[in-house]
Amino acid sequence: MPAPIRAALTRYRVMAYLTGVLLAVMTVVGLPFKYVFDGQATWYAIGWVGHGWAYVIYVGVALDLAFRLRWSLVRSLLVVLAGTIPFMSFVAEHYVSRDVRRGYDDPTPVEGPAQSADRGRH
């Protein structure tokens, strides 16, 4: 796997975990705290604002990876949206990492000028 792709994948994985953990904590602990127990605390607002900015970075690094791997728009959007659903960013991270690794460990060489003609349409 080329070093820039590896780095982009690592950035994406770190942010997927961070965003996922923050979102999980805020939905599993934060929402019942506010709406079931009528709690009011500073950490609640800080948690959501923190998750918001973590998600912004997640989207940034995910789109960067999408560009480098030349994902389709639909696939890029699905990965980006996965960060908004609790626990889905873990699932997305699993499949993205698996597919990227599989793509590079595949015995067929990475696309070069010679291959482009016989690859044809998909």
Q: Which residues of this chain interact with another protein, rule CB under 8 A? A: 40, 45-46, 48-49, 52-53, 55-56, 59-60, 63, 66-67, 69-76, 96, 99-100, 103-104, 106, 108, 110-111, 113, 116-117, 119, 121-122
- Which is closer to another protein, CB of 36 or CB of 72? 72
User: How far apart are CB 89 and another protein at their closest, in Å?
Assistant: 16
* Burial (Cβ within 10 Å: 0-12, 13-18, ≥19) of residue 41: exposed
Task: Give the nearer residue to another protein in terms of CB position, either 28 or 110.
Answer: 110
Minimum distance from residue 66 beta carbon to another protein (Å): 8
Quick one: 35 or 116, whose CB is closer to another protein? 116
Residue 58 and residue 53: Cα distance in Å, rounded?
Answer: 9
CA distances from 53 to 22, 49, 57 (A): 11, 6, 6
User: Cα–Cα distance between 67 and 60 in angstroms, integer?
Assistant: 11
What is the nearest approach in angstroms of another protein to the Cβ of residue 51? 10
Amino acid letter, residue 49: V
Task: Provide the minimum distance between the beta carbon of 27 and another protein in the complex, in angstroms, as a whole number.
Answer: 15
Which of 74, 96, 70 is closest to 16 using CA atoms? 96
